Chain A
Amino acid sequence: MADADFQRDALQHLNALYNFAMYLTRNPPEADDLVQETYLRALRFSHRFQPGTHLRAWLFQILRNTFLTFYRLREREAAIAEDGVPDWDTPMFHDTPLDEGVAMEAHTDLERAMRRLPEEFRTVLLLAEVEGMPLEEVARVMACPVGTVKSRIFRAKERLRGLLKDYEKK
């Protein structure tokens, strides 16, 4: 696929990728950087993309991997610098703290609850329910079996319902 064609096709998914980036980073400038880096990487490695396969899933996969590589590394370094305790000692599916620092304001309880979900749960819900991706594509983005995706969706919704109940009580 020529670079120009590839660029045109890839840009059709810009809004979906930006939305996903916003829910991952919770910060517009960082979402901008993440999406831009995603496109740069996609163009650089466009020769590896097999035409006919799902470009959307491929782009989401690049975006998520970039997020995990750079943003998590940065969070981890910050965590170590502040309290000297390695961040990876914490459980994998822990909820995001309420205090989100410079993160942008959430408008609804649903949005607030989504933001508190661990990244793995937030991602499966966004991809499967919001973007309407088939489970096979979600599995490709998250590099895990379809069964794991189903399990995570179930647990994510359970966690989300719990958070929403807490907000209703308050």
Chain B
Amino acid sequence: MTPDDQISDSDQQLGRRLAAELPRYTAPASLRIAIVQATEPTASRRPAWLSPLLAAAATAMVLALFMLPVLPRLQPADPVDQIVRAVVNEHSRALMWGSRQSQVIPAALPWLQEQSGIGLSSAFAGDDRLSFVSAEPVYLLRQRGLAVHYRDSDGHLVTYIALPAADLKVPDRARVQIERFRPALVKDSGFVAWVWRQRDVACFLVSDMVSADDLERFKDYFVRVRTATEPALAY
């Protein structure tokens, strides 16, 4: 017997009884109101001006991202600050990624002079306090120069950078007397730099030694580098 055959008169009676006698529950009015409120079309809840405003903001954001590489950057107005910023950037690059092409002084001096346009008649090659790491040519603010990296016993990276300095004026207000020298101390982006001139070459010694204790040691490093290094324009 198939299910079709089994749906007999008795089944039909029971079906009719179910339809007639089984209580039917009616939805309370509060439920209808709650559903209407909860399912209101979302568009009507949003103010008419919101969609075009959001679209305009999104377009502006995309344009700004697209134009970001060509937008003017915030640069320090002072030329010394500008060059110190570039020097500090080069130091932090070396700190993060190491030197591009590590070379050992004095074997690399002729090559370094040829590449950087700055000759070193003598150079600080490291001692018991400050060990030589590498030397490399650099290109900062559209000028060729050289960078020599040292590291002290505490792991501080100290970068010496020499650049042509035709019109660089070392700021008097920042000068510090160290033995017979008077370099300027300039701080930028959490780093500190000694700035001085040796004839036509602008010299910088950069490190992160910004605390009072570190600064005393940094003065000592300056004296060591300054007395042993003699840069000059090669051409």
Contacts and interface: CB of A to CB of B under 8 A. Distances in A.
Given A35-B31, A153-B7, 7 more contacts: A3-B41, A14-B27, A129-B18, A130-B19, A130-B24, A150-B3, A150-B4
Given A7-B39, A18-B26, A36 B34 contact: yes
8 contacts: A11-B32, A31-B25, A36-B35, A39-B35, A128-B15, A130-B18, A130-B19, A151-B3
Contacts of A17: 27
B28 interface: yes
A32 B4 contact: no
Interface string B22-56: 11111110011011101101110000000000000
A147 B28 CA distance: 36
Given A36-B38, A151-B3, A153-B7, A14 B22 contact: no
Interface of A is mostly: helix
Interface of B is mostly: helix
A36 B42 CA distance: 17
B194 to A, nearest CB: 67
Given A3-B43, A15-B27, A18-B31, A108 B21 contact: yes
B44 to A, nearest CB: 8
Interface residues of A, number: 36
A130 B22 contact: yes
A14 B31 contact: yes
Nearest to A151: B3
Nearest to A39: B35
A160 B14 contact: yes
A2 B36 CA distance: 15
B180 interface: no
Contacts of A129: 14-15, 18-19
Interface string A98-117: 00000000011011001000
Counting chain B residues whose Cβ lies within 8 A of the other chain, the interface size class is 20 to 34
Interface of A: 2-4, 7, 11, 14-15, 17-19, 22, 31-32, 35-36, 39-40, 43, 107-108, 110-111, 114, 125, 128-130, 132, 147, 150-151, 153-154, 157, 160-161
Most chain B beta carbons < 10 A, residue from A4, A129, A151:
A129
Given A7-B36, A40-B38, A111 B27 contact: no
B33 to A, nearest CB: 11
A24 to B, nearest CB: 11
A132 to B, nearest CB: 7
Most chain A beta carbons < 10 A, residue from B21, B25, B36:
B25
Contacts of B15: 125, 128-129, 157
